[in-house]
A and B are shown apart, each in its own frame.
Chain A
Amino acid sequence: MSGTFVGMPAFPEAAREALADSQLRHNLAHATGTIRAKRAKVVAEVEDWEELRLVGAAVKERALLDLETQLVRLEETLTANGATVHWARDATEANAIVASIAKAHEAQEVVKVKSMVTQEIGLNEALAEEGIAAWETDLAELIVQLGDDLPSHILVPAIHRNRAEIREIFRSKMGAAGRPAPADLTDEPAVLAAAAREHLREKFLRAKVGVSGANFAIAETGTLVVVESEGNGRMCLTLPEVLVSVVGIEKVVSRWEDLGPMLRLLPRSSTGERMNPYTSTWSGVTPGDGPQEVHVVLLDNGRTRALADEVGRQALRCIRCSACLNVCPVYERTGGHAYGSVYPGPIGAILNPLLKGVGHDDQIDSLPYASSLCGACFEVCPVRIDIPSVLVDQRAQVVDAHRGGVPKPEAAAMKGAAYVLGRSRRLSALERFTGLGMRFARRFGPAAWIGARDLPDAPAESFRAWWLRTNGGRNDGGRKGDGTDD
């Protein structure tokens, strides 16, 4: 992947560009609509879904409230199982650890399980700088990587592409990365998948080092868990001699039995399946079976910062299912690239500010505003992250970070509104000019509104003025016999 999110414009500008891409709009509306319907169908089958969501939230919350203990325990159990545990404060440290392990085995390439955290830290680019090729083996990640593209969805990173576009990418790019696509490649999904399978097979069989993330890390047993659909993960986790897993510290859960509810919640929320096809679990090294050298890199990279945020910390419960993306009306229209991060959509809009902090980067500061606060995300979240409330709290953090100095027009307008709305006398006085104001706004109002939307006609008098004049309609001539005049 040669693309990068660094230096992306703020959300409104990036969204404007995305909204103009009619192919993107079409692809997204189709894909999100399909997956929304699938999810709704399988969730409706679970009678105790709302209770299950509470359990899911509680499992993650319990581990997060006791994070230090759980992580130390995880390190102990992993080590006892024969794994080597590394701690990384940030992306640079984590990337250096992975690179040094690959180099120690003189590996010039690694095969990768689909993993959000390795994208977050830019692992592929960091390895490329060390002369190590990192091959994505998830079908959609392969499409993104071959197309020198950026992921635009957590689960379906190539959701912005349709199958005709994928065929063109395979035809033109596969050859340079390994086995080329067959000459008679069509855009049938099964044919495209078969071409990817052939292309990837030689990489699976050749690679000495596998790299993964983890969906869950169980402190009690020292077990990592990867949940996937294609079996490429199983290949990467079992065939190479060396396995390196980069795991965000918020992935820890306390007990083996915590896995049950999470595995019921995740596939239904994510792919809209009752159960995902492949769930791999491994507890360190098993002699004579699978990788004989197992490393786990436990990564912070802003997670302890997020944990310190009383309202926002609930975002660390996220299990990366992407249900919030699929129901989000903003995401459906702008796609993921507009969010400028590997974490797009509603969860990305809160997670990026939490991990990186607000007040020093306009792109990050624009994300909490990339929502109409419709609440569809909270409704579907399997671990009940109240995304709208976190967004509103983060907006206050953004405003507070910019307080002091010369106020921007918006801040001045809000101060003016606070003055007017603090006393009804002031509001009442101002309302005498509503008609004038609307006429002015119609000609000189913000283009952002009047460019596409007409403004309503102003009434002859405000409700307040009418109430006073007619004593709440009682002295209004009773044209309709019921005391009001319209």
Chain B
Amino acid sequence: MRVALMITCINDALYPSTGKAVVRLLRRLGVEVDFPQAQTCCGQPMVNTGYLDEAVPVVRTFVDAFAGYDAVVTPSGSCAGSARHQHSIVARRSGDEALERAVAEVAPTVYELSEFLVDVLGVTDVGAYYPHRVTYHPTCHSLRMLGVGDRPRRLLEAVRGIRLVDLPGADQCCGFGGTFAVKNADTSIAMGADKARHIRETGAEIVVAGDNSCLTHIGGLLSRQRSGIRTVHLAEILASTEQSAVEEVLTR
């Protein structure tokens, strides 16, 4: 099986540790991933702000980079949703039939990380160890656009040492919403403030999610509030081992 890693622009630039965790995790599970160098972004920032013409070259780059793989795995529910559900809209807009065909071929091969682990590899216990009190925020696009259901939760429940605590109002949006966070900043912050309050109520050290974009917003609020709670991507918890836990303690 030829598997490509779609890192996403935000992980590439700001959260390389998430990408490295995906590589480490999949390698441990016996899957070698390619990193197609031509990849850039899924184009969602343009599509969701209304700039469809501007998204055309980005989607073209996307399908060129990921054509021919059996599976494209990405540590983002939102970007997977964009590829699976929005690229066809952009391709139709372009009027380029070759692009429409390419999108139709590539889109179904894109998997969000938890889908790839549970549905393609058939594992829920990935052999991880993570001795922390953690609460899980299901991100909207993974929950409602992709329908990942309880896959991330099942993966987390199988992690040794973890204390998973329920997040009140878990399925309510954190308020990020891409450019919504800036265009409607007051509303976005009000939503995020309630999310942060719920997270604090759990007494967790760490809030985990499958999207670093949402975590940038949630973490930005928690950090500004000096809450002492950090955000960690699902991939990094699943990649953690007894050995990395020791190193984390000794290097802190």
Contact = CB atoms under 8 A, between A and B. Distances in A.
Interface of A: 11-12, 15-16, 19, 25, 329-330, 333-334, 368-376, 378-379, 388, 392-400, 410-411, 414-415, 417-418, 420-424, 427, 431, 434, 438, 446, 448-449, 451-456, 458-459, 461-464, 466-468, 472-473, 480-486
Given A330-B191, A371-B177, A473-B24, A456 B14 contact: yes
Nearest to A430: B13
Contact of A454 (B61, B191, B223): B223
Contacts of B58: 418, 421-422
Contact of A19 (B35, B172, B190, B221): B190
Contact of B35 (A448, A449, A467, A483): A467
Contact of B173 (A329, A398, A421, A438): A329
Given A373-B48, A421-B9, A480 B244 contact: yes
A463 B12 contact: yes
27 contacts: A330-B191, A372-B180, A372-B191, A373-B48, A373-B141, A392-B50, A392-B86, A394-B50, A414-B49, A421-B41, A421-B61, A422-B40, A422-B60, A423-B40, A451-B185, A453-B192, A455-B216, A456-B15, A456-B220, A462-B16, A463-B16, A463-B20, A467-B19, A468-B37, A480-B247, A484-B21, A484-B24
Interface string B100-125: 00000000000000000000000000
A247 B183 CA distance: 36
B23 interface: yes
Contacts of B219: 454, 456
A410 B50 CA distance: 11
A423 B223 CA distance: 34
Contacts of A446: 182
Given A399-B49, A417-B54, A459 B221 contact: no
B145 to A, nearest CB: 6
A415 B145 CA distance: 27
Contacts of A378: 144
B139 to A, nearest CB: 9
A482 B24 contact: yes
Interface string B61-93: 100010000000000000000000010010001
Interface string B229-247: 0000000000001011001
Contacts of B15: 456, 459, 463
A414 B51 CA distance: 7
Q: Interface size for chain B: under 10, 10 to 19, 20 to 34, or 35 or more residues?
A: 35 or more
A473 B172 contact: no
A56 B143 CA distance: 24
A388 B44 CA distance: 13
A372 B217 CA distance: 13
B interface majority secondary structure:
helix
Interface of B: 7, 9, 11-17, 19-21, 23-24, 27-28, 33, 35, 37-41, 43, 45-52, 54-58, 60-61, 65, 86, 89, 93, 140-141, 143-145, 171-173, 175-194, 216-217, 219-221, 223-224, 241, 243-244, 247
B12 A16 contact: no
Contact of A415 (B17, B54, B189): B54
Contact of A376 (B56, B173, B181): B173
Nearest to B46: A414
B37 A424 contact: yes
B46 A418 contact: yes
Contact of A462 (B12, B48, B140, B243): B12
B223 A462 contact: no
Nearest to B171: A376
Contact of A486 (B17, B43, B140, B145): B17
B20 A485 contact: yes
A373 to B, nearest CB: 6
B10 to A, nearest CB: 10
B17 A459 contact: yes
Contacts of B247: 480
A12 B60 CA distance: 34
A333 B191 contact: yes
A333 B190 contact: yes
Given A369-B183, A434-B13, A453-B217, A424 B38 contact: yes
A453 B182 CA distance: 11
